[in-house]
Amino acid sequence: MTKRLWRKIVLYSKLPEMRLFWIFLPLLFLGFFAALTYLPAFFRTSSVLFFLTLAIVVLVNNLQLAKSNLEIKTEHKQFDSIIQNLNSGAIFYDYEFKIGVFNKTAERIFGLRASEILGQIMTPDKARDPKLNLLAQVIYPSLASKMITRSEPGADSQIIDLSFDEPRLELRVFTVKLSGERDMPLGFLKLVHDRTREAGLLRSKSEFITIAAHQLRTPITAIKWSLEALSQNGAISQEDKEMATTGLTAANKLEGMVSDLLDVSKIEEGRYGYNFENADITVFMEKVLTDAAKEAERRKVELFFERPREKSITLRFDPARMGMAMSNILDNAIKYNVENGQIVVKIEKLTDKPLIQISVKDTGIGIPPDQIQNLFKKFFRGENVVKFETEGTGLGLYIVKNIIQRHGGEIWAESELNRGTTVYFTLPTDSSLIPQQEIATFGEE
């Protein structure tokens, strides 16, 4: 313990903060010897004690200062080492958008040296500079042509995906607001993860699935035609007709699975294709419910529609894609409902936001509380749903989520086991809130 303490004292004594003490020490010695030489004997003891106390006080204060500064420098070095060795690009800028940190990974991603960018104030017009164009779009995401938000509105950490064609880059950007003591705002830290290679691998997988699905369509179509012909053939027995009908039903389900896989591949590649137009959402919903009524009646489920207060609400949306999304939500509400159950579809215009909210409430089997967060993930099917209905891909609600997000909306659900589920989603009444372009969603659940 003593040796360790002595080593620390020796270490601190060599630091720049100890210079004042070493300058002051000879003066103390001069004062000490002057007191011994020239002062009367009565004052010598008190003078010696004074100079010794002064020397100890100066030494201790300088050692504490040296210790504190050394610890701060060590922490700074450790922090800088961590930042510089992150696999993600790290960029810090203050409230004046002055760049204060630009690590090695950021240098690689943006093709810039830290010495070129540190101290610069990034303004939106920097996007005109070919060298700074990419960095400007990351700092000001509204400048990017392909951007999708991954975080919830108001979340502490904002997460966005950016896609660039020249150079080919897929970036995920995490933005965190930093504060100092007493919540004094310091600036923003952006962590930039380069997903280009990962997205490329997922794109290859998606292309393989697309090719395989297309190849499956031809034999499935041939099987369907053959089974249809058999089921309508008067020369075969009733038993054979029933077998052909069963086979045709299975072929139709297989064709639906192939279509879902193709849709997911197109969504992930950002080429699902949308045709937006202005239409009355109430009129649109009435048609969707009319189409679903027959299946609901067959399953002994009642459909109700609560219209909005407004006589007409015109939105900009793709009727075909939105019809697919609503049909999927209604199909689940009907399929997993109970006999003599109910479904209530409601449209309301929100007063505090430029949005409408649509809800589909059923009285079905519900979803376990610990699984509700997975409802819109790819290939997810609830444990109780699998027991209730064994067949299904778990892709339908994933496709629905992407359709809603492409329209600038959000989707979520609330459920109570054995009591029912309510699916909510929003759509913007302001068309400027609709994303301008599709963006690839490789790797997203």
Structure tokens at 226: 């053959």
| Residue 359 backbone phi and psi in degrees, to 5 | -125, 145
For residue 10, the model assigns a pLDDT of: 62
The DSSP code for 122 is P
CB 90 within 8 Å of CB 103: yes
The rounded distance, in Å, linking the Cα atoms of 176 and 188 is 6
For residue 263, the model assigns a pLDDT of: 84
For residue 393, the model assigns a pLDDT of: 76
For residue 239, the model assigns a pLDDT of: 83
For residue 18, the model assigns a pLDDT of: 62
What tens-digit pLDDT sequence spans the chain (445 residues)? Answer: 566 656 665 655 566 656 666 666 676 666 666 666 666 665 666 666 766 776 677 667 776 776 777 677 767 777 777 778 888 999 999 989 999 999 999 999 999 999 999 999 999 999 899 999 999 999 999 888 888 777 776 677 888 888 888 888 889 999 998 887 777 778 999 999 998 887 777 777 777 777 777 788 788 888 888 888 887 877 778 888 888 888 888 888 888 888 888 888 888 777 788 999 999 999 999 999 999 999 999 999 999 999 999 999 999 999 999 999 999 999 999 999 999 999 999 999 999 999 999 999 999 999 998 899 999 988 888 877 776 666 777 888 999 999 999 999 999 999 999 899 999 999 999 998 888 776 666 555 5
For residue 4, the model assigns a pLDDT of: 64
For residue 324, the model assigns a pLDDT of: 94
277-433 under CATH 1.20.120.140, yes or no: no
For residue 421, the model assigns a pLDDT of: 96
Delimit the domains of the chain by residue range.
2-84, 89-194, 206-268, 277-433
For residue 328, the model assigns a pLDDT of: 94
pTM of the model: 0.63
Model confidence pLDDT, tens digit, residues 128-158: 999 999 999 999 998 888 887 777 766 778 8
User: Amino acid identity, residue 95?
Assistant: Y
CB 307 within 8 Å of CB 346: no
Do the domains at 89-194 and 277-433 have one common CATH topology? no
The rounded distance, in Å, linking the Cα atoms of 162 and 173 is 8
The rounded distance, in Å, linking the Cα atoms of 220 and 204 is 24
Domain 89-194 in CATH: superfamily?
PAS domain (3.30.450.20)
| In the block, residue with structure tokens 């389900």 | 253
DSSP SS3 for 153 = coil
| In the block, residue with structure tokens 């990017």 | 144
For residue 97, the model assigns a pLDDT of: 93
